[in-house]
Amino acid sequence: MPSATAVRIVDAALEVLGTGGIHALSHARVDAAAALPSGSTSNYFRTRAALVAATVDRLQQFDEQQWQATQFADRPASVTELADAFAAFVEAATGPQRTITVARYVIYVQGVVEPALLETLNANRRRVTDWTAGILDDLGVPDAADVAATLLAAVEGLILHRLTGFAAVPPGPHLRRLLAAAA
C-alpha cells in the first residue's frame, strides 16, 4: 500500500500532465502542485520515468475502482443501458474528470516512443476491453470481444473529439446506434 504522500504526489503528477502536458512534468512542478517541500517527489520517485510509471499505476487503480463500482451497481440489462453507461462515462471523462483524461491521453502519446510504457498501457487497455466484452457476452451480443474493441475505440474517439473541440456531440445516440447494430 503506497503512502498517502506517494498517492498525493502521483495525483499531483496527473494534474501537471493533464494541465501542462508531458513537457511540464518535472519533480519541482509536482512538488509545487502537491504543496510539498522541494525534493519530496524525488524522494519517492527518483526518475521521471518512475514518476510516469506511478501515474500509469494510479490510472489503473482508477479504472479498477470504476469497474468495481459498476460490478456492485446495477449492471446494464440491455445494450441500450450499456450505451447509456458509456455515454455517461464520456460525459464524466470530458467534464469533471477532464484533467485526468487529458493526462491519460498525454501518457498514451508518450507511450508511442517508450515501448515499455506502451506495453503497460496496452495491458491496462486489454483489461478494460475484457471487462466490456464480459458484459456484452452476458447481454448475448455475438462476437463480444470484437464489439468491445469497436465500442471502446468509439468511446475513445468521442472523448478525443470532445477534448479537442472538434465535435462536442452528445455521445448517447452514437453509442446506442453502434451497439444496436452489433446486437
Do residues 47 and 26 lie in contact, with contact meaning Cβ atoms separated by under 8 Å? no
Q: Which amino acid is at 95?
A: G
Q: What number is the average pLDDT over the span 14-40?
A: 97
DSSP secondary-structure letter at 166? S
Residue with cell 458509456: 86
Say yes or no to pLDDT of 2 above 90.
no
Span 1-56: which CATH code?
Answer: 1.10.10
* Domain locations in the chain as residue ranges: 1-56, 74-182
Of 1, 123, 146, the residue nearest 63 (C-alpha): 123
Q: Which of 3-12, 35-44, 63-72, 129-138 has the lowest mean pLDDT?
A: 63-72
Q: What number is the average pLDDT over the span 120-124?
A: 89
Q: What number is the average pLDDT over the span 143-165?
A: 95
Please give the Cα distance from 86 to 152 (Å, whole number).
9
Please give the Cα distance from 166 to 160 (Å, whole number).
8
pTM of the model: 0.89
Banded model confidence at residue 168, pLDDT cuts 50, 70, 90? confident
